[in-house]
Amino acid sequence: MPRLGIDLVDLEGYVCCPAFGTFPSLDEDAHLAVSAWNLSLGEDKGVDLLVECGSCYSSLRLGRALLARDEGRRERVNVLLAKAGKHYEGKAKPRHIIDVLYHEVGVDRIRESLESTLAGTHAALQHPCHTLYPSEVVGFEESPAAPRVLGELVRALGADVREYSREHHCCGGAGGFRHSSHAEAYRYTRKKLDAIRNETDADYIVVSCITCLMHLDEAQKELSGNNGDRPIPVFDYSQLLALCMGFSPGEVAAISTVSRDRVTERFAAV
Amino acid sequence: MTALSEANLDLWRDLEGGDVLRICLTCGSCVSDCPASEADPPLLIRTLLRMVELGLEDNLLEEDTPWSCVTCSRCEEVCPMDVRPFEICLALRRWQCRNDSTRIPLSTTEIYQRGYTQPVDRVEELRRSVGLSGKLPVITADPELLAKFQAMLMEIDVIRDHDFMFKG
Ligand code: SF4
Ligand code: SF4
């Protein structure tokens, strides 16, 4: 990010975003106090928060929106925060990484920063739900029904983007679905993976959410079993960007079970 | 099954955001693209909203389906009346927790104890292997701050009333 003109500072004393299955499912004041805790860390330093994980992003955005909607909530939360010597005003904004890359850095600067490209490769996209809906709270696309940002960013790396029928569906990996209904959730994900395999010649899937990444990756291991489906490696956008910017495949941390060698070997060679 | 004559018609008042339920058209848009409507048993968010409106407390206490929600907010995007079904789904979980402590997510006790549900410390080795600093400046790096965070959460009724779960 510094090479792209974005300075990063670590926030000290961060806690879980909170994930929707935690405090937001237990108590509203606890939910908002934890959101405000994290947001106040950015506020104190005068910075916005950069987030990659879809649900962290959505949770922080919803917390901020709920606090903005109602003064009573803000007051209650500030009484709670005062116990820890903190205060919340709502100045720091959570921003998703692809929003920042597209709207702050811009595709031109990204193109200029590349040492190699993905020219000649084909990508299928997984748009993280949490960056699209509800657009009023989390949105940064002109049209949430036809998101463009991730595709434009992938094209900036030289890849061709392949569309498919279930592109706008959820990956199926978030929340309780996968836990309450394991078989049904994987069947749901399978429909997406099958659509990518049958309708496109994608070499890899690009996501921008850690849950999408881990779920689409692990689901392939779980689902392929013995039926020889074509495996499709899954990358976070920032991993592909880093590879094209010249970082070595080893540095771009390997959180995956599906082998990515077919895609990364082109970078090892340069 | 709750007889309608025994229903709690004020139930919506117990749910944050419940006042908007009366403008729900029951159009079903919220269910149409809901990933968790494919769960077994299916999460039928419109039906849950109707159950709140009708005050079917006993049935709702037994419902596990609000916990299958993937939190994608598609229902909020498509709802023509701005009912915010996802927010009500969360409110329903909270109402269940208030009335049945076995519903309290264990993950909240983990966050209370160590700031996170994910074992954040386990990524330290991976971080070091790719040249990042190993230690993350999360709350556990500052025990004094963690104690303040815990004291703050203890101010909340449902947490204080179940402090034995949180203090572990
Ligand atoms: S989409 Fe909105 S109005 Fe339609 S049934 Fe769902 S909550 Fe009611
Ligand atoms: S937020 Fe939950 S209830 Fe709404 S569409 Fe997504 S999974 Fe269904």
Q: Which atom of ligand 1 is nearest to the CA of B23?
A: 3
> Do A67 and A36 contact (CB within 8 A), yes or no?
yes
Tokens of A224: 């392929």
pLDDT at B85 over 80: yes
Q: Which helix (H) or strand (E) holds B151?
A: helix B143-153
Residue B81 has a pLDDT of 96
User: In chain A, whose CA is at the least distance from the CA of B78?
Assistant: A134
Residue B65's nearest CA partner among B104, B39, B98, B91 is: B39
Whether residues A80 and A135 fall in one domain = no
Give the Å distance between the CA of B43 and the centre of ligand 2.
8
> Do B102 and B93 contact (CB within 8 A), yes or no?
no
In a domain, A97, yes or no: no
Give the Cα separation of A252 and A218 in Å (integer): 19
In a domain, A101, yes or no: no
**pLDDT cut 70: percent of chain B above it:** 87
Residue A194 has a pLDDT of 92
Distance of CA A49 to the CA centre of its chain: 14
* Residue A94: strand pairing partners: A49
Chain A from 198 to 237: CB within 8 A of any B CB: none
Tokens of B130: 């790719």
B156 with A16: Cβ contact below 8 A: no
Residue B168 has a pLDDT of 75
Establish if A182 touches chain B: CB-CB under 8 angstroms. Answer: no
> Do A14 and A59 contact (CB within 8 A), yes or no?
no
Whether residues A25 and A138 fall in one domain = no
Give residue for tokens 């206490």.
B61
Whether residues A88 and A156 fall in one domain = no
In a domain, A146, yes or no: yes
Q: Which of A58, A92, A126 is the last residue of a domain?
A: A92
In a domain, A99, yes or no: no
Give the Cα separation of A15 and A56 in Å (integer): 11
pLDDT at B158 over 70: yes
Whether residues A54 and A136 fall in one domain = no
Ligand nearest to the CA of B81: 1
Q: Which atom of ligand 1 is nearest to the CA of B29?
A: 1
A20 with B71: Cβ contact below 8 A: yes
Whether residues A117 and A167 fall in one domain = yes
At A217, the amino acid letter reads D
Q: Which helix (H) or strand (E) holds A51?
A: strand A49-51
Whether residues A86 and A162 fall in one domain = no
> Do A24 and A18 contact (CB within 8 A), yes or no?
yes
Instruction: Calculate the average pLDDT of chain B.
Output: 89
A19 with B107: Cβ contact below 8 A: yes
Q: What is the CATH number of the domain that holds A78?
A: 1.20.1050.140
Between the two ends of chain B, the Cα-to-Cα distance in Å is: 37
Q: Which of A11, A12, A15 to mutate to test the interface with B (most CBs of B within 10 A)?
A: A15
Whether residues A88 and A114 fall in one domain = no
pLDDT at A18 over 80: yes
Q: Which helix (H) or strand (E) holds A186?
A: helix A182-199
Residue A270 has a pLDDT of 42
Whether residues A173 and A79 fall in one domain = no
B148 with A85: Cβ contact below 8 A: yes
pLDDT tens sequence across A185-222: 999 999 999 999 999 999 999 999 999 999 999 898 88
How many A×B Cβ pairs under 8 Å?
176
User: In chain A, whose CA is at the least distance from the CA of B125?
Assistant: A253
Whether residues A134 and A75 fall in one domain = no
Q: What is the CATH number of the domain that holds A156?
A: 3.40.50.11810
* Contacting residues of A for B117, CB less than 8 Å apart: 16, 19, 22
* Residue A205: strand pairing partners: A124, A234
Establish if A16 touches chain B: CB-CB under 8 angstroms. Answer: yes
Q: Closest Cα of chain B to A69: distance in Å?
A: 12
Establish if A88 touches chain B: CB-CB under 8 angstroms. Answer: no
Confidence of residue A227 (pLDDT cuts 50, 70, 90): low
Q: Helix, strand, or coil here: A229?
A: coil
CA angle A162, A168, A169 (to 5 degrees): 120
In a domain, A138, yes or no: yes
Q: What is the dihedral of CA B56, B57, B62, B66, to 10 degrees?
A: 80
Mean pLDDT of A263-268: 73
B36 with A80: Cβ contact below 8 A: no
Q: Which of A92, A127, A143 is the last residue of a domain?
A: A92
Whether residues A232 and A193 fall in one domain = yes
pLDDT at B40 over 60: yes
pLDDT at A254 over 70: no
Q: Helix, strand, or coil here: A207?
A: strand
Whether residues A88 and A120 fall in one domain = no
> Do A195 and A232 contact (CB within 8 A), yes or no?
no
Give the residue, A111 or A267, on which the prediction is more confident: A111
Residue-range definition of the domain harbouring residue A141: 106-267
Confidence of residue A134 (pLDDT cuts 50, 70, 90): very high
> Do B76 and B31 contact (CB within 8 A), yes or no?
no
In a domain, A67, yes or no: yes
pLDDT at A15 over 90: no
Confidence of residue B56 (pLDDT cuts 50, 70, 90): very high
Residue A266 has a pLDDT of 74
Domains and CATH numbers, chain B: 4-99 (1.10.1060.10), 107-166 (no CATH)
Residue A66 has a pLDDT of 95
Confidence of residue B57 (pLDDT cuts 50, 70, 90): very high
Residue A158 has a pLDDT of 96
Instruction: Calculate the average pLDDT of chain A.
Output: 90
Residue A31 has a pLDDT of 95
Domains in chain A, number: 2
Q: Helix, strand, or coil here: A202?
A: coil
Q: Which of B68, B70, B101 to mutate to test the interface with A (most CBs of A within 10 A)?
A: B70
Residue A257 has a pLDDT of 67
Q: Which atom of ligand 1 is nearest to the CA of B81?
A: 3
Whether residues A259 and A171 fall in one domain = yes
* Residue B116: strand pairing partners: none
Residues in contact with A156: Cβ distance below 8 Å, sequence separation at least 6, in sequence order: A107, A110, A111
In a domain, A98, yes or no: no
A15 with B116: Cβ contact below 8 A: yes
Give the Å distance between the CA of A85 and the centre of ligand 2.
36
- Per residue in A81-90, is it b (16+ CB within 10 Å) or e — as a string? beebebebee
pLDDT tens sequence across B20-36: 999 999 999 999 999 99
Using alpha carbons, list the distances in angstroms from residue A205 to A201, A233, A267. 11, 6, 17
In a domain, A100, yes or no: no
pLDDT tens sequence across B88-120: 999 999 999 999 999 999 989 988 888 877 665
> Do A213 and A207 contact (CB within 8 A), yes or no?
yes
